[in-house]
Structure 1
Amino acid sequence: MSFDVYTPLLLSLLLPLVSPVIGRRVAPALAARVLTSAAVLTAAATTWSLILLVTALVGDAPPVVREAREDGRRLADPVPEVIGVAACVALAVVVWRVQRAVRAERRTRRALRRLCEGQPRDTELVVAASEVPQAFAIPGRPGRILVTSAMLSALAPAERRVLLAHERAHLTHRHGRVVTAATLAAAANPLLGPVRSAVSFLVERWADEQAAAAVGDRVTTARALARAALCAGRARPACALSFTDRAVTRRIAALQTTPPPHLWSAAAAVLVLGAIPALFAADATGDLIRLLWNALT
């Protein structure tokens, strides 16, 4: 098997390097989408490469290869045995990590949905009597916005509108799905952990920009975020899209400047970076198919 099968694993090192730059220079909505898409493509390509290495692990494993060798035909070993064993172990770890991430996601979502049990189906805003200032969006059908009474009392009326617009943006643009996709990609490929962190930050920035546009005032949006961050407690659900989560000081600083531009060229470059590992994985698949075809013929 050619070097192509290893290339997706090497290229997955590049995406975490460019994600901070894209996060700073490209509009949050566009950056979050392209980084997530590239991460999913890269994770799928690296996982498939591991599958190919495991498939080619045992020189005698595919029956057609074994029979071909018994007939005296010379066939090159697709990969060294030690690499195949390492790929087998790595693939088992990937499966375990993805299963754990899926279970954690389901468990957290069930816990969040239970917070809104008993509310009318058409109720978007749920106010919980609590002394802990909290506000977060709960994805689902229907999506809900959960805000504690302490958070509402800490904000001025204009700042409350910012908070609700922020959380509504999470629901409208399905940020929960974006973060989940990036989380599963990072579970499949731990090298993509920084990309997952960047996407989690960018969806908050995305919602900040949507809130600023909705209220028409970036200063009020920054002030609402700062006030909420100062009074917010530390405890919050792990995967909730929280108003005061994800590097608040950086978000406030960003709101005090002009919105980043939509650099489509940079976004396209990131997508290409995500597509290249998939192309190499496809080429490696072709190599394995040709090997089996030669064994058959």
Structure 2
Amino acid sequence: MRINVYVPLVLSALLAAVSPAIGKHLAPATATRALTLAAVLSAVSTTWALLLLSATLITEAPPVEAHARADGRHLAEPVPEAVAYAAALALAVAAYRLHRVLRAQLTLRRTLRRLCEGHPSGGELIVIDSPVAEAFAIPGTPGRILASTAMLSALQPAERRVLLAHERAHLTHHHALLSAGTALAAAANPLLRPLHTTVTFLIERWADEHAAHSVGDRDTTARALARAALTAHNRRPADRLAFTDHTVTRRIAALRTSPPPDLRAIGAAVLALGAFAALGAADATSDFMELLARALTC
């Protein structure tokens, strides 16, 4: 097989390497969407490339070898046998990691939905009487926002509006799905783990910018985030979309500056990396089909 089968792996590493810079210089909404879609494309392409590499072991199968010898043909080794076995092992590890992440995501979703039980179905906000200061979004149909009395009492009225606008952004823009998408992509392809970290941060930045726009005051948004962070106890399940999580200091610093530009050309370039990975996998598929045809031709 030609080198194109390895293109998805190379582009995955490149995508992960450039993701922090993309997140720093591009509007959070655009960066999040572009990086998430590119990550999913890259993960699917990489998984398919590994499947193709491991499938080349078919030429080593005794019936195929016997059939070729009977016809007086010699089957060339498409990739080194060690590479094919390594690809098969990587696929098995990826399947295990995907199972664990998917199970964790489903468990988290059930846990969050249980928090809504016993509360009136109408209304967006659920207030719980708790000394633990926390607030987070609960995705679903409908989505809900849970906030503790300790968190609400720690904030000024304008700051409460910031908190609610932030969590509402998580629900409106389906941030839980974006986070889950990059988590699954990183599980399938560990090279993408830095990208998942970047997207997790960008999701919170996106919600911060949404809140700042909603209340019309970036300073109030930064102050609300700082006050909530000082008050909150960091006792959250993994991947919960909470107001005070994920590098609060960097988020406050970003709110003290002008909003980043929405350079869609950069977003398109990020998507191109994912698309090129898919094209490499498609080209490798064509190579594999030719290989299979030669191996099975009478």
Q: TM-score scaled by structure 1?
A: 0.97
- Equivalent in the alignment of 1:236: 236
Paired letter, 2:207? A
How far residue 64 of structure 1 moved from its aligned partner, in angstroms, is 5.8
Aligned residues between the structures: 297
In structure 2, the gaps of 5 or more residues are: none
Moved more, 93-102 or 136-145: 136-145
Q: CA RMSD in A?
A: 1.4
- Equivalent in the alignment of 1:171: 171
Question: Secondary structure, in 3 states, of the residue corresponding to 1:145?
Answer: strand
Structure 1 residues 133 and 294 mapped into 2: Cα distance closer, same or farther (>3 Å)?
Answer: same
Paired letter, 1:37? L
- Do residues 206 (structure 1) and 227 (structure 2) align? no
- Equivalent in the alignment of 1:73: 73
CA deviation map 1:226-264 (0-9, x unaligned): 100011101112221000011111111111111111111
Paired letter, 2:248? V
- Equivalent in the alignment of 2:253: 253
Question: Secondary structure, in 3 states, of the residue corresponding to 1:258?
Answer: coil
Residues 39 and 182, structure 1, Cα contact 8 Å, conserved in 2: yes
CA deviation map 1:40-96 (0-9, x unaligned): 111111111110011112423396675234322222122211111111111100000
Paired letter, 1:168? R
In structure 1, the gaps of 5 or more residues are: none
- Equivalent in the alignment of 2:59: 59
- Do residues 150 (structure 1) and 147 (structure 2) align? no
- Equivalent in the alignment of 1:288: 288
Residues 42 and 277, structure 1, Cα contact 8 Å, conserved in 2: yes
- Equivalent in the alignment of 1:13: 13
- Equivalent in the alignment of 2:112: 112
Residues 151 and 228, structure 1, Cα contact 8 Å, conserved in 2: yes
Paired letter, 1:17? A
Distance in 2 between the 1:22 and 1:218 partners?
Answer: 22
Residues 133 and 151, structure 1, Cα contact 8 Å, conserved in 2: yes
Tell me the percent identity.
62
Residues 59 and 295, structure 2, Cα contact 8 Å, conserved in 1: no
- Equivalent in the alignment of 1:191: 191
How far residue 13 of structure 1 moved from its aligned partner, in angstroms, is 1.0
Paired letter, 2:53? L
- Do residues 103 (structure 1) and 103 (structure 2) align? yes
Question: Secondary structure, in 3 states, of the residue corresponding to 1:161?
Answer: helix
Question: Secondary structure, in 3 states, of the residue corresponding to 1:123?
Answer: coil
- Equivalent in the alignment of 2:38: 38
How far residue 141 of structure 1 moved from its aligned partner, in angstroms, is 1.2
How far residue 281 of structure 1 moved from its aligned partner, in angstroms, is 0.8
Structure 1 residues 265 and 55 mapped into 2: Cα distance closer, same or farther (>3 Å)?
Answer: same
Question: Secondary structure, in 3 states, of the residue corresponding to 1:12?
Answer: helix
Question: Secondary structure, in 3 states, of the residue corresponding to 1:242?
Answer: coil
